[in-house]
Structure 1
Amino acid sequence: MKRQVKKKTERSQLTKFKRILRNTEYHGSHESIKKNELQVKKKRYFKLVNKLFIKYTTNKKIVVHAPVYIDYYNNFNFNKTNHFLNKIKKIVTKENGRVSIDFSQTKLITASAMISFLAETDNLINASKLGRNAISFTHPKVEKVESVLKQIGFYELLKKPTRDTKTFKDVSYWNYASGVSSEPQKASDSMAEIEKKISIKARRKLYKGFSEAMANCVEHAYQNPAQVDDVQTKWWAFAGVNDDTLIVVICDKGIGISKSLPLTRGSELIEKFKNALSLRKLNDSAMIKIASRMGRTSTGKSNRGKGLKDIKSIIDTFNSGHLSIYSNKGCYKYFRREGNLDDIMKEHKTSVCGTITEWSFPLNIGEEED
């Protein structure tokens, strides 16, 4: 809007100078005519320079330095990572520019932050007119960081040639998939390879809980009727088995739990849960906690929409496991160790712009029942 006003003002000034020049040509002195001719030329010159400057800056790549730690587990790193993602988003979407990401300082990338980064990049190149040309990056200096980016499909997403790197045990176990939540069957097919690898080691009850929770997270990721296109209804997931522990991370860039929950459950029910859980206010982290206690969806089917509750019930049943949920500015963590329950809520200054669910379970739990 400001840019349109500025353009209109510039056009008005140029028209004014032209009108003055015409009047002086008939009635003015030679000196006045020369003066007004210079004003018109000057205005035209700056208009041309401005156009060339806009064209130049639009095509020029803006270097954005990735943080040392792309990470959501530490509060400081959480905000640094989100500031980094927001900077890229602003350049690509609002300024129609091109970004070159410099990974030279990056030493560590962790799961939840990486999937958020991957999801944002995927959305941006799909939304930009420049496509994949909107975002490029330099090879990281730290070999393990490069290995992570290769393993989770970042190189493939931006069609950058890969280099040979060492195999890291805590990197190579990750499997990556993505799909569109408006097509549950397609999402299920896309996850088949990941599910196959997990189910080989996972116990039946544990695997069943994971599968149902995954299906619900995918199906109910977006509840906003306005969000109907594939770019906005996509999901991304990592999964793997490391040291006999099943780890799953799933992300969507939807409206977030705090906005979707009132649409599906109603404010009255939310208020009841708020009072029952002794919550002071309904911020993002409080809404995540409420969602993790609810088990009935807007469809009215008792076997649907239990995603978060199903994961919690597995943790309760086997007294083991960890659940972390990031949604917009909120974070909720639920875990049991040796029968002791820990329940943590945290409100951050910056937003993940969507929802990330991460859970892990030891695969040796419940062996006595097999």
Structure 2
Amino acid sequence: MKIISTKARLHRNSEQIRIRRHQLRASGLKRNVEHLRRLEIVRLNKPILVPAPKVFILNDDRHRDSIIFFLRELERNLDAGLKVKIDFTDTIKLHPCGTLYMMANLDNLLVRFPGVISCKLPKDNIVEQLFKHLGLLSKLGRSSGLAVTADNVVNWHYATGSDATTSAFKALLFQHSEAMGGVLVRSNLYDCMSEAVTNTKKHAYPKESEFLNNWWMFSQARDDILQVAICDLGIGIPKSLLDKPKMEDYLRKLFMIGRQSSHDKTLIKLASSTSRSSTGLEYRGKGLPQMLDFIKNQDEGGFRAQSGAGSYTYNAFSKKDKAVTHRQSIKGTLVQWTLKLKSE
């Protein structure tokens, strides 16, 4: 083993100190440059550019992370008093779950920060057509010369509301009445959607809320597949269950240790379960069990509920379910149904 002399050791330590000082100065300079850049943006009253994700989907963690970080960055800049321009240039794919969640959050930000959010148009023609079709571009003060003609755009339908009346999504659902072929299927799905909206009004929002007390809904019928998604930005399923006094003892036994976020998936599965024998508690009314039962009675299709850091999925074809803990939490609750449309 080589013995290092005191002189060499002191020289090495002083060199490390010098390098660290240089790093700290560079870091401080970078922070100062960023601060000056922001001051200049404020002085010139120019918007700060915030890049949007390439893909809007909540089901896998990589893309989920990018959506959450994007929305946080938007809110952080708006809270700092800056104008914001969303850069959709590189956005190339829109899934119902991620797109609906983004639309809901943007609606809230547009109410809280009126007149200071704009956008750059996407390069992708399909993405631009869909943003135009959903009314997002007009909300952000942009127009588009593209005609909305793409098959995977015109079949999307969008509705939002702040009450539990059914007229808005009733019209949305019956856009697909011919493709769905069957009064029973239409009626059952309509009941599920109605129950989801009722749950939003009964359970999702506290009396004092900084958010719009809204629900948002998508549907799309294409290639013999019907997709429906409904979203709110309320307290979420886990907190809704934990706030119920009759559930307190049961849940305390269930979750003696561990992080709260890891419990979210179990709470969502519990809220979706039709079996009350394990708890003997009427804690959820019809709600999610009714929505899940509807899919369980189908030969194909799926059900997914997402809230907090958890998600619960059921596959009607394989008859299997799965509960997952995600890295990032979402606000509120997002429920999706996928149905195979039965032709005559």
- 1:88 paired with 2:70, answer no
Counterparts in 2 of 1:215 and 1:230: CA distance versus 1, 3 Å: farther
Residue ranges of structure 2 left out of the alignment (5+ in a row): 1-35, 277-281
**Secondary structure of 1:76 counterpart:** helix
Contact 1:220 1:305 in 2 (8 A): no
- 1:361 paired with 2:339, answer yes
Which residue identity is paired with 2:269?
A: K
Matches of 2:156 and 2:81, distance apart in 1: 33
Contact 2:41 2:47 in 1 (8 A): no
Contact 2:133 2:148 in 1 (8 A): no
**Secondary structure of 2:122 counterpart:** coil
CA shift at 1:198, angstroms?
2.6
CA shift at 1:274, angstroms?
5.2
Percent of aligned positions that are identical: 26
Aligned residue for 1:108? Answer: 93
Q: 1:317 aligns with which of 297, 301, 306?
A: 297
**Secondary structure of 2:123 counterpart:** coil
Aligned residue for 2:168? Answer: 190
Aligned residue for 2:58? Answer: 72
Contact 1:288 1:327 in 2 (8 A): yes
Superposition map of 1:150-189 within 5 A: 150-165=132-147, 167-180=149-162, 183-185=163-165, 188-189=166-167
Q: After TM superposition, what 4+ stretches of structure 1 lie above 4 angstroms from structure 2?
A: 52-55, 228-231, 272-275
Q: RMSD in angstroms over aligned alpha carbons? A: 3.0
Contact 2:261 2:309 in 1 (8 A): no
Superposition map of 1:260-279 within 5 A: 260-264=240-244, 266-268=246-248, 271=251
Matches of 2:212 and 2:249, distance apart in 1: 28
Q: How many residues align?
A: 296
Contact 2:234 2:331 in 1 (8 A): yes
Matches of 1:231 and 1:274, distance apart in 2: 32
Aligned residue for 2:129? Answer: 147
Superposition map of 1:46-61 within 5 A: 53=39, 56=42, 59-61=45-47
Matches of 1:229 and 1:70, distance apart in 2: 26
Larger radius of gyration: 1
**Secondary structure of 1:156 counterpart:** helix
Which residue identity is paired with 1:77?
A: H
Matches of 1:273 and 1:170, distance apart in 2: 48
- 1:206 paired with 2:185, answer yes
Q: 1:220 aligns with which of 192, 196, 199?
A: 199
Matches of 2:239 and 2:233, distance apart in 1: 13
Q: 2:326 aligns with which of 313, 330, 348?
A: 348
Matches of 2:245 and 2:196, distance apart in 1: 16
Residue ranges of structure 1 left out of the alignment (5+ in a row): 1-49, 297-301
Aligned residue for 1:25? Answer: none
CA shift at 1:155, angstroms?
1.5
